[in-house]
């Protein structure tokens, strides 16, 4: 059965020592009792050479610097910037690839409780990555220190899925941290990395903060950096699709809370086509305004003044419908 996770079985089968080895952690030193090790924390990095403590027999760890701790699943989740469930799926996958028997789902109600109830919705993370918001890449992308702070983005240098990338925290509609996305600094590898199992169609980036502004209007952009730049231009009621598609869940999130939606997608053909389609999807439920940027323009490359102008310039705005009075 796909996506079945038996947490207890994985914890008993996968040894913390083996997982540490698979992440290249070979610098821990034995300290005192057998199976007791300590060393530099592989999760947050840092300078402390005694911060990270692992008890290999019990399969638990704790970092006294970044506060991360738990069992083998928590460790993988912290390294990968993913949920414990996604970490379990990963370990489950590697166990079967190694030729060892993959964990068999247990029968009975206790087993069933372990399955995430609401399919597709990412559970909150139990940790936060320690990132460096002063990395020059962020200034190069036009973000000022206040914006960087506000969104909690920064360079992540420690090992894991986000290693060497700008880690961008993503929250659900309740404001709970559910994942990180990792933006590459150069052309190597994919531009954005998401943890395995993360369903981006289930969330809108920055939704909880946009909602907290109590504005009845919301601005919708494509990407993280578009969102941060529009926020910085003086529009905190902005959300990002993390792409150019609007899922049914995202549509409901928007129309449940905002009577008016302003679409500010990229000016290229993809953005134009997406704007039309999304406006059509939203129009029955709320008032939609399209801001059509010139083909070479996208919000993350626009000066704050140009963003403000685009959002107020009547010629660029096309009202689709206003079915609900505001
Ligand atoms: Zn740590």
* DSSP conformation letters of 15-36: -HHHHHHHTT----EE-SSTTE
CA 39 to ligand 1 centroid distance, Å: 10
125 C-alpha vs ligand 1 centroid, how far in Å? 16
Distance between alpha carbon 199 and the CA centroid of its chain, in Å? 9
Task: Give the distance (Å) from ligand 1 centre to CA of residue 291.
Answer: 45
Ligand 1 center–CA 69 separation, angstroms: 8
* Distance of CA 48 from the midpoint of ligand 1 (Å): 9
Q: How confident is the model at residue 102 (pLDDT cuts 50, 70, 90)?
A: very low
pLDDT of residue 94: 62
Q: Please tell me the distance between residue 266's alpha carbon and the centre of ligand 1 in angstroms.
A: 39
Give this prediction's pTM.
Answer: 0.69
C-alpha 90 – ligand 1 centre gap (Å): 22
> Separation of 197 CA from ligand 1 center, angstroms?
24
Pairing of β 192-193 and β 217-221: unpaired
Reply yes or no on whether the pLDDT at 212 is more than 60.
Answer: yes
At residue 319, the pLDDT reads 60
CA distance 279 to 285: 10
Q: Residue for token digits 């638990």?
A: 60
Tokens encoding 124: 């909150």
Ligand 1 centre distance from Cα of residue 229 (Å): 31
- Average pLDDT score over residue span 159-188: 91
More confident residue, 9 or 28: 28
Rounded distance from Cα 51 to ligand 1 centre (Å): 7
Distance 46 CA to ligand 1 centre (A): 7
Q: Which residues contact 97 (CB under 8 A, 6 or more apart)?
A: none
Distance 67 CA to ligand 1 centre (A): 6
Beta bridge partners of 240: 205, 221
CA of residue 26 to ligand 1 center, whole Å: 16
Give the confidence band of 81 by pLDDT, cuts at 50, 70, 90: confident
The predicted structure's pLDDT at residue 33: 80
Per residue in 117-153, pLDDT (tens digit) is 334 567 788 788 889 999 999 999 999 999 999 999 9
* CA 43 to ligand 1 center in whole angstroms: 5
Per-residue confidence band for 323, with pLDDT thresholds at 50, 70 and 90: very low
Provide the mean pLDDT of the chain: 85
Spatial distance between the Cα atoms of 5 and 7, rounded to a whole number of angstroms = 6
What is the structure's pLDDT at 48? 83
pLDDT band of 318, cuts 50, 70, 90 = low
Of residues 271 and 82, more confidence is placed in: 271
> What is the CA(37)–ligand 1 centre distance, in A?
14
Q: How far is the CA of 279 from the centre of ligand 1 (A)?
A: 45
**63 CA to middle of ligand 1, Å?**
5
Ligand 1 centroid from CA 127, angstroms: 10
Q: Does position 18 have pLDDT exceeding 50, yes or no?
A: yes
Q: Over 80: is that where the pLDDT of 284 sits?
A: yes
187: helix, strand or coil:
coil
Highest mean pLDDT among 4-13, 40-49, 204-213: 204-213
Average pLDDT over residues 66-80: 89
Go through 285-303 and write b for each residue having 16 or more CB atoms within 10 A of its CB, e for each that does not: bbbbbbbbbeeebbbbebe
pLDDT above 60: residue 178: yes
Instruction: Please compute the mean of the pLDDT values over residues 66-90 and round it to a whole number.
Output: 87
pLDDT reported for residue 1: 44
State in Å: Cα 171 to ligand 1 middle: 22
Interval 28-33 mean pLDDT? 86
* pLDDT classification of 110: cutoffs 50, 70, 90: very low
Calculate how far, in angstroms, residue 111's C-alpha sits from the geometric centre of ligand 1: 32
Cα of 33 from ligand 1 centre, angstroms = 21
pLDDT of residue 293: 93
Q: 248-267 pLDDT, tens per residue?
A: 999 999 998 999 999 999 99
State the distance from the centre of ligand 1 to the C-alpha of 52, rounded, in angstroms.
6
Calculated CA dihedral for residues 237, 192, 75, 14, nearest 10 degrees: 140
Tell me what the mean pLDDT of segment 18-28 comes to: 88
């Amino acid at each position: 059965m796909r996506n079945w996770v038996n947490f207890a079985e994985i914890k008993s089968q996968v040894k913390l020592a083996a997982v540490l080895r698979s992440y290249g952690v070979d610098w821990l030193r034995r300290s005192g009792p057998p199976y007791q090790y300590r060393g530099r924390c592989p999760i947050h990095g840092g300078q402390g050479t005694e911060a990270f403590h692992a008890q290999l027999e019990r399969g638990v760890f704790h970092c006294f610097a970044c506060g991360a701790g738990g069992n083998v699943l928590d460790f993988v989740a912290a390294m990968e910037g993913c949920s414990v469930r996604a970490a379990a799926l990963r370990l489950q996958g590697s166990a079967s690839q190694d030729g060892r028997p993959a964990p068999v789902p247990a029968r009975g109600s206790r087993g069933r409780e372990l399955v995430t109830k609401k399919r597709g919705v990412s559970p909150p993370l139990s940790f936060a990555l320690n990132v460096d918001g002063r990395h020059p890449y962020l200034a190069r992308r036009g973000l000022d220190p206040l914006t960087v702070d506000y969104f909690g983005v920064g360079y992540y240098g420690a090992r894991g899925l986000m290693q060497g990338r700008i880690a961008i925290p993503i929250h659900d509609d309740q404001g709970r941290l559910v994942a990180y996305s990792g933006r590459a600094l150069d052309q190597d590898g994919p531009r954005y990395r998401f943890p395995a199992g993360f369903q981006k169609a289930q969330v809108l980036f920055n939704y909880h903060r946009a909602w907290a502004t109590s504005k009845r209007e919301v601005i919708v952009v494509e990407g993280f950096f578009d969102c941060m730049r529009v926020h910085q231009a003086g529009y905190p009621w902005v959300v990002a699709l993390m792409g150019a598609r609007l899922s049914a869940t995202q549509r409901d999130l928007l129309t449940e809370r905002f009577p008016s939606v302003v679409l500010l997608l990229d000016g290229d053909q993809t953005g134009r086509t997406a704007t039309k389609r999304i406006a059509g999807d939203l129009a029955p439920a709320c008032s939609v305004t399209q801001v059509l940027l010139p083909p070479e323009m996208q919000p993350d490359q626009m000066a704050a003044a140009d963003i403000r102008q685009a959002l107020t310039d009547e010629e660029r705005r096309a009202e689709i419908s206003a079915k609900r009075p505001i």
